[in-house]
Amino acid sequence: MRKLLLILDFLLCLSLSTSHTSFLPGDSKNARQHRKELNLKRPSEDSTAFESDIILASEKANKLAKEILSGNRKRRQTVQATKIWPNGIIVYKYDDNWPNSKLGNLSKRSMEKAMKMWQDKTCVIFIRQTPTTPRIGSYGSGVNIVFGHMCQTIAGRLEYGFGDLEVAGNCADNPGKLAHLLGHVLGIFHQHNRPDRDKYITVMFEALKQDAWKFFIKANENHTEQLNKPYDIGSIMHLGGHVMFNKYNITIQPKDKRLMAVMGQRTHLSFLDIKKVNDLYTCNRNCPRGPKCKNEGYIGPNCSCTCPLDLTGRKCQKVVQSFSECGGVLKRSSGTFSSPGYSQKYQNSTRCTWLIQGTAGSSISLNFTSFEIGDDANCYNDFLEVKTYGLTLEGPRC
């Protein structure tokens, strides 16, 4: 029997879900030549990928790593502006040796989905290089998608030439994992290596394989340039809690253990993932004025409000409603609600969100009189989430 009841006096936001360089066309010879000039290793030859899945041009890699380790580099959460793709246009191609197999074709489709995830929410555009591709965007820079043995990629744009993004069996058919790699391509580093990460997570070095320690080097504490956005444990650019373990199962532990289920997700771009790219590429530069977005929404690429997950409306003032009796904005000083059709089972793929608004300075509390939810030990599919960290961040689940 799957049923759920939620009765409360006040709450903030509650969500219930059951689901949820100038390369001309055909210029591969030039690409190979540039690769040689740049001494850029093929990914599968590079056993020391930076931060586990980021490939650096090898002549720069050691220098950068040393600078970060010594604290002499002002490392930011995102790459320097010179690494940004001009006009947000990323030209890509599939490597000449791309396998014409079932998995090869499936991986191409997954990659297109991953690109769409970013394109739909930001102003970046991925353009596949074909014999008829006009010379647009960042002339001469691009992404060469290869099929290999590891899931790793360049971060940001190479000054010249096509850098590799390598897909392998464990990410080839997963659009979310590929979207993570594309996040690096767009210029975003890992969330869990932010200089302030120790306030939010504990990296269990004793549980990690020793050769993985280098993937968890955090930036110097004095470097706060990246702290203009909250630490986003639900980012698609955050590793999960069970990676690269040697002894114990858990290698990254959120300080708030209730956030374990949202850490390392590869199902969607978080609100802040999207905002980061929109900011990085100034996607709203053509919007001198727009609506005054509420509830932490902001002016997005199409000059309308981009809202936190589950909020909608011209000013982000409403919640997304999948059913008429499911979700809404509550402004009364007290009230009750339940899952749709309670005490019957809730239907699959139901997502209900309530936004509770109190007056400034008031506190909001929830009282549960009955609670039952589909059996999901990890709270991935069936869950109750209370956004106690604000509207833009994931909250505790289940």
Site for Zn ion, rule CB under 5 A: 53
DSSP state of 131: T
Consult the annotation and say whether 20 binds a ligand: no
In angstroms, give the least distance from the CB of 178 to Zn ion.
11
Cα(190)–Cα(252) distance, rounded to whole angstroms? Answer: 13
Tokens 């040697």 found at: 246
CB contact at 8 A, 350 and 325? no
Q: Which is nearer to Zn ion, 186 or 305 (CB)?
A: 186
Residue nearest to Zn ion (CB): 53
Consult the annotation and say whether 184 binds a ligand: yes
In angstroms, give the least distance from the CB of 243 to Zn ion.
11
In angstroms, give the least distance from the CB of 55 to Zn ion.
11
Q: Which is nearer to Zn ion, 53 or 310 (CB)?
A: 53
Q: Which is nearer to Zn ion, 121 or 238 (CB)?
A: 238
The two tokens of residue 62 are 């050691």
Consult the annotation and say whether 190 binds a ligand: yes
What angle, 0 to 180 degrees and rounded to 10, lies between the N-to-C axes of helices 271-280 and 175-186?
30
The two tokens of residue 71 are 């604290």
In angstroms, give the least distance from the CB of 366 to Zn ion.
36
CB contact at 8 A, 157 and 83? yes
In angstroms, give the least distance from the CB of 282 to Zn ion.
24
Q: Which is nearer to Zn ion, 41 or 318 (CB)?
A: 41
Q: Which of 398, 389, 397 is nearest to 12 (CA)?
A: 389
CB contact at 8 A, 162 and 142? yes
CB contact at 8 A, 151 and 141? no
Q: Which is nearer to Zn ion, 192 or 223 (CB)?
A: 192
Known binding residues for Zn(2+) are 180, 184, 190
